[in-house]
Structure 1
């Protein structure tokens, strides 16, 4: 046995943390099956001084074990030793470290500094300071943040690889700072430079393209702590002794792009000016920083029918294009970005709406590498102007997003489904850029709450979202209240609050993080926000106890919208509002139980029961009909467990009938789509779910794949079969909401789902889909790696399962009765399919009577030979063996072969 992947607050040997009670996690690797941790022992030291000794704790907890020692000190490196004993009496040890930042914001001596350039000056200011060090340096830490987005350079090299720092927060309430180890960058004579772009703080933002959402001047804030080997310390901090100048970045806006002039930029130099700033809003970096995580070479160079010179990178991404070129002095190169080409093959930037997404470079005559600093684009194609021969330049697309660890894998034998999974994965990467944006390309890119909550389960199967959502939920909590409710976007720049399915994010996302990562603290941190959202709805209910007033998005962009006057779909929007009201009330009830709040648990349990009864009285008839017999109306009734038990079968039939009326296609929008396949699979209609999933014509998930999509579209018909586009003015080709089907792919197709928080106990129950004969699913949980590999081929089913140490799995094999409960280990199962067994049973010595007694055979005979039982010759052959029948009645041979062929065909389709 050994320990691996030791972490403090989800990070490996982090620096710059300010958690007063950091939590420790580790994973166990063991060659023995059924391994469970019996005890752990944690020791934390500051140098040689023990500050925490847990003693031997008899517990299987190995995830997020909370520090309970002496008060931690600022700027201190702590060493952590973990010793574990398992149930086989094996021992293992592991070590890790963590380093604190500043616990008290009063320890910051720096001032927020700005400039007094003319209001029409668009160049990004560069704040700089020169200083000397005359002693040997032991260590140096730089703490930095900005009103805007910043980069720091120390003696030439850039500090760190993070981009768009400090990220987007509710700036008036919270401002992140970053911690950098800069020991290796310091010399005797030093120069620190800090460039600040408008970013989200001052830049153009929102549909109306308004600037100055948070302030009209950017600012820089930095504090460099140098510790010398003789034990003395020195602090270099931003103040009015710093200089500020304009630099080569002449213009920068997130929506519009960036202009860099390296040839003849006009430089203005001033003294920095102190800017009023409340240091109490400072908080250490909370989530993974945004980084360039992948570099993509061009797939093709194109000259369009209009004569445009394009580069196709083959993948719709969020990020930047790096250009390596040697141009003439003063030569201007313009890079325009777009997601797609029009039906004639021309550059099509219309999906960007008012966002220009244009980067401009002015060359200095030398070999140069251009890469924007303070913007990002959503694109697959670039249009290049100012270069005659594109082959003389080197173009690289740089994918950029919050650097969350990849934890999930899904692949199968169907290439189109694999492309769908790729599209889902890229949609996540492209839109999880410090906040969960709705889209990365147009004049929006906002933290829409509805999109994020419907996708949160899928996101958490693919990437480790714990820190990402923790940070975002802190902004949500800061901007929510009992009086206003929960905003539609977060951070809030719209001033729009409280709509079902959108504002319900306040309850759903913390619950997803708790269930996925076993993180109880996110429930503690967001308890007020969670229960106040439910209380807000309660306060706005009518006498019947239901929420039936105010604006609602309904089943946004549902395809049954022709029955409605707007984009809210045909399902009664207040039915949806109250369905979610009941859903999140139950989440709050469960959260109260987890947090040990018995009184609150009883309160919300009673509210749940009362509201559910009112809902049933309002939205169902006595015979089980729904007020909105739409797909979404039936789906939420089943998935949220709203329907009475006696009505569930009727509502399921209503759903199936509706689907049939749409020729086995969905017609759902943002609310119904995440749950439709779940509702079918969990209520005995999995084959119908599989049918919908595998559809390839409009509307379907695979339709966009067939149309060449490399990300998830906002609309089912963002691109029409003839190559034209939806012209609603709201048509992103990189919107992840409909990618929420990924949750069903992991849970139902690969069969991996949690039974206890963090997958301490989980279920493996794969379900076959016609057209998919093998599936690989894997998930790196907080306990270790789960694997579910399933194949159904040539009459055999094989299942391979891996269960990590310190967990338990419930295994339900396809076409097998009952379940198995297994501890850690690797397990393989192989057995014949039911149809292969049936074919075997149809031996030449069986009688035809025995054959047609099988329900599957009856279905096959009726399908392939209608009316065959009326054939006198067949009736005569009933008592014979098949060999005798075929000898005396060769006319029956085609019938027999048809049945066997049909069974074999169904076998290949995993029926």
Structure 2
């Protein structure tokens, strides 16, 4: 037999996949610069016959020390505790595992994983922020960013060099004229006063004996650039633009040389004239400083830097992957609009930037304006609101051509209008000289779905594209207009779908840390995180159901999908403070029935300019979420073994459920809000008395049929209604709802050419015009939460125990589908199911990895216990 453990996967903070996180030309796929003293370990196992782990050995080899082997008697293989002394700053450890089986045999050692800690103590830092010192109007969008540089000498016996870097604003570092790393928009958007990420790079290959240069480009980003709608705000975190970096060079004799940002650095205006997330980037190649990041460059005309301050205790290693370019998309057409404009059609609504190669005279300028849609054949920018969303490049006039891509901005677009192109644009596109580069947080793909209906497949693909476009450093709401903030309610409803499609554990656990940092002392959870001031509705911050409940729902989702009790422990107090706040607001009657609420946001019946005016009473929604959050908090307490809190919040959930039923459920099983969302909440959150559930289930089916199987739910009801129908025995109605093509429905956008999920069910009206509401996006993942139902019910793949240690296969054929399949890379390895209708029977193939078990529930009522491996079963269709 052969049993092979994979190389240990180092988990730090919360399941961040560091093999994926730090993949780049300079630091490979090893866990470099991690921020945890006790990183957790995981591994997957392959075996050619039935086998079960009963224990494991972990070998740790620290620099300059003999290997240490620790033996653990345990069947656990996911997020196992660090078995040795905690890491110290900069410490490098090689880790291998071998496994003991129930057959008494021991495997060979896994391939080694080398991990290295970052700077774990505030005292490790000597660097300070440095940037340009020229006077600027801090309220202007036209502030010119700076370049900063420092020349230094490297000795001849260099062994290793690490660069620890971050910025006030955004940065791209260079060493001796070569780019360091491949991430974009670093260090990302966090609650900057309390939390600033730094990244670690192995720059050893970029250095050479003698003179060397470390330099950086800087950009406004979220730190000082315009944020928010109705004109937005500037300088929310500061008006400086600064690089903060520390390069540590280790020599053969043990000597360490440190090159840190300080007052000896030099600065000059960048060829970037202006840059911002909303408005794009303007660049003048005639103003470049040739060779500025290489040795020997004369920087006498550069100025001394301005030196700023930064509390090093706020500097933290990242917990998830950075933003990267993950794909290039070539235009499918070059259109000529009725007004004569030239417009690139990418064929796909995406998030990123355009890169082009061009040859032309010095001083000529190429401008690109982007948008998601056309109207009347022209680029339609009204949905962008105040976002300029345009980039311009002024040529230097190089005879051998020039290549350019913006550095510090991103756009949500399918179409790009090009003006000023000095030559044949059609020929340039045909030659591949113009491409769109797709940018998002470089998450590892973990989930796939397909069925026999091509429109449903396109719907699922649209969900994937919308998730990619809205995971730009944090879970955002739209990538194209003057907003792009981390709305808490959106990821609350989309979390289960997100965690199937991609490994979001590290990214979302890190973001939940910022949610807690922004949480008010009374427990109020902001509507979006990080918080920016807002005009009108969103200031001051007030508690709101479904949005604030992210602090109970999302930790539970991450535990359920990844088996991560660490994130539960880290975020329990945040969740508790939120539920205690709502308990105080509700009072003795346990009804949260006053205050500002969004309710079932974007119910299709709501007026375009009043998305909260839904068919379901917003206070019914608030009280339902109060009950559900109290219940989840009791579950979280149970995970942690906190029995007193578990009992307390379970009793609170029971009391709120009783108050909900007495207030909102009528004696015949109908509800005071006779609407799909009301029943979906009542049924899925278990708030309807047992004796009335059947009547309520029948009623939600009647309501869907009365709407002609069209959607009648908003952000709150949409993730729940399909499951409510399924649980109520209305599976056929759930499929009718899924497969409806008339507006509003999931497939209506697909039949109108959508390549992402829309914010509104009718973002594009049936007559081809854009919805008149000022809040209209064509890339917004929330309504794509139905994909979780596709995975769990249509395909039939769901976790039965945290982390998919036990898997529930329960396919529910319907809707005329003849096959469906789903596969998911769980923490234990790949789990999959595929079913097909064959000669009047259902044939189901399943796959389980070592370390898991499962059950298959067939339509004929038979349940089959499954061991690791591949299985095929047949059932009569009912």
Band the TM-score falls in, shorter-chain normalisation = over 0.9
Residue deviations 1:657-709 (CA, integer Å, cap 9, x gap): 21122112120000000110011112211111011001111111111000000
Are residues 1:81 and 2:96 paired? yes
Deviation at 1:788, TM superposition (A): 0.4
- Report the counterpart of residue 488 of structure 2 in structure 1: 449
- Equivalent residue, structure 1, for 2:377: 345
Q: Does 2:139 correspond to 1:119? A: no
- Which of 464, 485, 506 is matched with 1:425 structurally? 464
Matches within 5 A, 1:815-830: 815-830=859-874
> What displacement does 1:793 show?
3.7
Find the partner of 1:305 among 321, 334, 338: 338
The 1:370/1:562 distance shift into structure 2, 3 A limit, reads closer
1:542, distance to aligned residue in structure 2 (A): 2.9
Give structure 2 stretches of 5+ with no counterpart.
12-16, 20-29, 290-298, 534-538
Deviation at 1:474, TM superposition (A): 0.8
Inter-partner Cα distance in structure 2 for 1:620 and 1:399: 48
Contact 1:53-1:69 at 8 Å conserved across structures: no
Return the match for 1:144 from 156, 161, 165. 165
TM-superposed deviation, 1:280: 1.2
Residue 5 of structure 1: CA displacement? 5.0
1:191 corresponds to 2:223: no
Aligned pair partner of 2:186 in 165, 182, 185: 165
Alignment of 1:694-773 (within 5 A): 694-773=739-818
Count how many residue pairs are aligned between Structure 1 and Structure 2. 830
1:444-486 per-position Cα deviation (integer Å, ceiling 9, x unaligned) = 0000011111111001110000011011011001111341510
Superposition map of 1:883-898 within 5 A: none
Q: 1:156 aligns with which of 164, 171, 177?
A: 177
Q: Quick one: structure 1 residues 350 and 560, their matched pair in 2 at CA, closer, same or farther if it must change by over 3 Å?
A: closer
**Which of the numbers 388, 392, 412 marks the counterpart of 1:356?**
388
The structural deviation recorded for 1:165 is 0.4
1:818 to partner: Cα distance: 2.4
CA–CA separation in structure 2 for the residues paired with 1:829 and 1:622: 44
The answer on 1:39 being equivalent to 2:55 is yes
Give SS of 1:771's match: coil
- 8 Å CA contact 1:652–1:683 kept in 2: the answer is yes
Q: Does 1:792 align with 2:837?
A: yes
Once residues 624 and 696 of structure 1 are traced to their aligned partners in structure 2, the CA distance between those partners, rounded to angstroms, is 30
CA distance in 1, matches of 2:670, 2:877: 39
Match of 1:22 among 39, 56, 74: 39
Alpha-carbon distance in structure 2 between the residues aligned to 1:244 and 1:504: 46
The within-5 A match list for 1:116-265 is 116-120=133-137, 122-187=143-208, 188-207=210-229, 208-264=231-287
Question: Does residue 486 in structure 1 map to residue 520 in structure 2?
Answer: no
User: Partner of 2:346: helix, strand, or coil?
Assistant: strand
Q: Distance in 2 between matches of 1:379 and 1:566?
A: 24
Change (3 A) 1:281 1:123: same
2:559 aligns with one of 502, 505, 514: 514
Q: Structure 2: how far apart are the matches of 1:750 and 1:369?
A: 46
CA 1:664–1:114 in structure 2 vs 1: closer, same or farther (change >3 Å)? same
| Contact 2:8/2:95 (<8 A) preserved | no
- Give the corresponding residue for 1:70: 85
Change in CA separation of 1:265 and 1:49 when aligned onto 2, cut-off 3 Å: closer
Quote the Cα distance in structure 1 between the aligned partners of 2:262 and 2:611: 54
**In the alignment, structure 1 residue 294 sits paired with structure 2 residue 317:** no
TM-fit CA distance, 1:71: 3.0
The Cα of 1:564 is off from its aligned counterpart by: 12
User: Following the alignment from structure 1 to structure 2, what is the Cα–Cα distance between the partners of residues 467 and 173?
Assistant: 19
- C-alpha contact 2:365 2:420 (8 A) present in aligned 1: yes
Return the offset for 1:66. 1.1
Work out the CA distance in 2 between the residues paired with 1:833 and 1:512: 32
**Are the equivalent residues in 2 in contact too, given 1:585–1:607 (CA < 8 A)?**
yes
In structure 2, C-alpha distance between the alignment counterparts of 1:18 and 1:716, rounded to whole Å: 42
Q: 1:468 maps to which residue?
A: 507
**2:554, 2:569 → 1: CA distance?**
13
* C-alpha distance in 2 between matches for 1:91 and 1:670: 51
* TM-score (normalised: structure 1): 0.89
How far is 1:725 from its partner? 1.1
The residue that corresponds to 1:391 in the other structure is: 426
Match of 1:369 in 2: 403
Contact 1:176/1:286 (8 A) holds in 2 = no
What SS is found at the alignment partner of 1:39? strand
Q: Cα 1:722–1:504, aligned 2, differ >3 Å: closer, same or farther?
A: same
- 1:484-530 superposed Cα distances (whole Å, 9 cap, x missing partner): 51000001113523100001011111111111111111011111101
Out of 98, 101, 106, the residue aligned to residue 115 of structure 2 is 98
Q: What is the CA–CA distance in structure 1 between the aligned matches of 2:562 and 2:167, rounded to whole Å?
A: 32
5 Å-filtered alignment, 1:635-654, equals 635-654=680-699
Contact 1:438/1:451 (CA < 8 Å) preserved in 2? yes
Tell me, yes or no, if the aligned pair for 2:609 and 2:773 is still in contact at 8 Å.
no
Structure-1 residue corresponding to 2:678: 633
- Higher Cα Rg, which structure: 1
Deviations 1:106-126 (A, max 9, x none): 110011123321214622111
2:634 maps to 589
Q: Distance in 2 between matches of 1:20 and 1:304?
A: 58
- Which residue among 365, 370, 377 is the counterpart of 1:332? 365
Aligned to 2:18: 11
Does structure 2 retain, via aligned residues, the 8 Å contact 1:482–1:536?
no
Q: Which residue in the other structure is 1:906 paired with?
A: none
- Tell me whether 258-267 or 798-807 shows the greater mean CA deviation: 258-267
Shift of 1:625: 2.7
Aligned equivalents of 1:832, 1:611: Cα separation in 2: 43
Per-residue deviation, 1:309: 0.2
Unmatched 5+ stretches in structure 1: 835-911
Structure 1 contact 481–532 (Cα < 8 Å) conserved:
no
- Cα deviation for residue 591 of structure 1 reads 0.6
- Specify the alignment match of 1:436 in structure 2: 475
Query: Whole-Å Cα distance in 2 between the matches of residues 265 and 390 of structure 1?
Result: 25
Q: Give the equivalent residue in structure 1 for 2:605.
A: 560
- Counterpart of 1:881 in structure 2 is none
Contact 2:542–2:596 under 8 Å retained in 1: no
Whole-Å separation in 2 of the counterparts to 1:672 and 1:523: 26
Q: Distance in 1 between matches of 2:839 and 2:806?
A: 33
CA distance in 1, matches of 2:821, 2:656: 41
